Amino acid sequence: MTNTHRNTAIARAVAYLEEGGFAADLARRVALRTESDTGAPGPALDAYLVDEMTPWLGTLGFDCGIHPNPDPRGGPFLIARRVEDPALPTVLTYAHGDVVNGMAAHWKDGRTPWDLHADGERWYGRGTADNKGQHTVNLGALAQVIAARGGRLGYNVTLLMEMGEEAGSPGLAAFCEAQRAALRADLLVACDGPRMRAEAPTLFLGSRGAANFTLRLRSRDKPYHSGNWGGVLTNPAVVLAHAVASMVDRHGRIQVEGLRPAPLDARLRSVLQGLHMGGGPDDPVMDPAWGEPGLGPAEQLVGWNTLEVLAWGAGSAERPVNAIPPAAVVHCQLRFVVGTPADAIEQRLRAHLDAHGFAEVTLEMGMLCAATRLPLDNPWVDWTLNSMAQSCGRPATLMPNLAGSLPNDVFADLLGLPTLWIPHSYPACAQHAPDEHLLVPVVREGLALMAGLYWDLGEPHAPWHRAAAV
């Protein structure tokens, strides 16, 4: 088919926004209070799949099945399959319909998290950026391409939607392992996280891994007066301060050798040096003296490991008393890149603590997901960048991996797929905070990008067709 037909598909996708279809679909989805970080799955998680997504997808020819989570902490899963011919290649797309706590009391100017509120080019509501608005972009564009192609894409599509990503995706890996046959595909195309900048169409190929861990030390059962006993009783807060200081120095440089990545290779470093991080009106000012010496901001965020203290507890910070606390706790997080083995992190942390005299400090591991990155020379990378550039009229930005973390290891490692992520949000979207919002220009461009990509996947020049020819 010609570029004229491709352009028609893109125009239809943009009209979905301009004529109000996108806003209507997103408003219904935002209104469902699908908080998953409350500790127990609620009925809205099922309703999102049963009442909203299944009927909508059914109009596009998807066969939908809703499945319980093998982990009782997590919400249900949806597998929706649109099979034109089992012999055709299949694209798997992933999304999550759950959101974080609404934080309703903290939204400004009379806005609420459960109503879509338009204010100029900003559309507010919980889930607008993460992830309801983003998967509405992808699925809306797909719907318009199906219509523009006369109901036939030339490939199959499987959608996996989970309802527990904001709770750490409990059960996702086990579910995908059990559903390998239903999820068999040739490529993952998904959306989450932010673009590099609002004006920069972005492709990323994986994400940094994340390992949350907690250090604890209890020295006694109760506090004791700091004047009467100070100097002869171990202070667990002081011990933990030194334990953390042995792991990361005062400039944020990791001191645990087993958790420091290998030096960046030349091609990766070349790509990262072309990325410009931050600089937006709502972005924080970066600290040039923080982190690994000799690395620029993109190299630090995308190509290196970081160890952060998330929270610290000892005594009562709100109302301190003159007493030695009996116990202390510090919650930490390691973000890490490909090359750091996720299954060795606990052993390396424990070995470091023991070697530095902190054997009495307990180590508890929390959420863990592996780092992933599709190789930069994979044929899907340049092909996707070219498709995006053709649709938006300027080069797209390549991020080798997201600085944050996603459950991409399930798709890249467990299911063995090439993974392409095209986000439709931006860094200052207030994701996970009050006043979360989408930018309409990013939505408009995202619909065009995805319509072009879904169109191109059905053309003979797509890499899966070239591979079949070989």
Express each pLDDT in 260-304 by its tens digit.
999 999 999 999 988 888 777 777 888 989 999 999 999 999 999
Query: Alpha carbon of 132 to those of 34, 48, 99, 137, 198: distances in Å?
Result: 10, 10, 8, 9, 18
Token representation of residue 444: 């408009």
Same-domain pairing of 110 and 258: no
pLDDT at residue 466, as a whole number? 57
The maximal CA–CA distance of the chain, rounded, in angstroms, is: 86
Say if residue 470's pLDDT is above 50: no
Q: How confident is the prediction for the chain on average, in pLDDT?
A: 95
**pLDDT: which is higher, 377 or 470:** 377
Domain that holds residue 44: 3-207+371-469
Residue 348 to residues 87, 108, 336: CA-CA distances in angstroms? 46, 45, 14
Q: Residue 47 has which token pair?
A: 């309703």
Number of compact structural domains in the chain: 2
Cβ atoms of 297 and 320 within 8 Å: the answer is no
Q: Is the pLDDT of residue 327 over 80?
A: yes
In this structure, the number of other CB atoms found within 10 A of the CB of residue 457 comes to 24
Instruction: Identify whether 107 is part of a domain.
Output: yes
As a whole number, mean pLDDT of residues 334-347 equals 97
Specify the range with the lowest mean pLDDT, choosing from 39-48, 153-162, 220-229: 39-48
End-to-end CA distance of the chain: 23
Indicate if 8 and 86 belong to the same structural domain. yes
Q: Which residues contact 224 (CB under 8 A, 6 or more apart)?
A: 233, 323, 324, 326
Which pLDDT does position 335 carry in this prediction?
97
What CATH number does the domain containing 318 carry?
Answer: 3.30.70.360
Query: CB neighbours of 4 closer than 8 A, spacing ≥ 6?
Result: none
Could you tell me if 258 and 352 are in contact, meaning their C-beta atoms sit under 8 angstroms apart?
yes
Same domain assignment for residues 200 and 261: no
User: With contact defined as beta carbons under 8 Å apart, do 370 and 413 qualify?
Assistant: yes
Q: Which strands form 306-313's sheet, in the order they lie side by side?
A: 306-313, 327-336, 209-218, 362-369
**In sequence order, what are the residues at sequence separation of 6 or more whose Cβ sits closer than 8 angstroms to the Cβ of residue 408?**
206, 207, 369, 372, 419, 421
Q: What proportion of the chain, given as a percentage, has pLDDT over 90?
A: 91
Are residues 220 and 184 both part of a single domain?
no
User: 75 and 159 share a domain?
Assistant: yes
Does 83 lie in the same domain as 12?
yes
In a domain, 465, yes or no: yes
CA atoms of 38 and 416, how far apart (whole Å):
32
Q: Are residues 17 and 87 in the same domain?
A: yes
| pLDDT at residue number 276 | 85
CATH number at residue 395: 3.40.630.10
Tens digit of each residue's pLDDT (9 = 90 or more) over 196-205: 999 999 999 9
pLDDT at position 465 is 65
What is the Rg, in whole angstroms, of the alpha carbon atoms belonging to the chain?
24
Residues 6 or more apart in contact with residue 118 via CB below 8 angstroms: 23, 124
Q: What is the pLDDT of residue 1?
A: 59
Per the CB < 8 A criterion, the answer to whether 254 and 244 are in contact is: no
| Percent of residues, the chain, with pLDDT higher than 70 | 98
In this structure, is residue 280 part of a structural domain? no
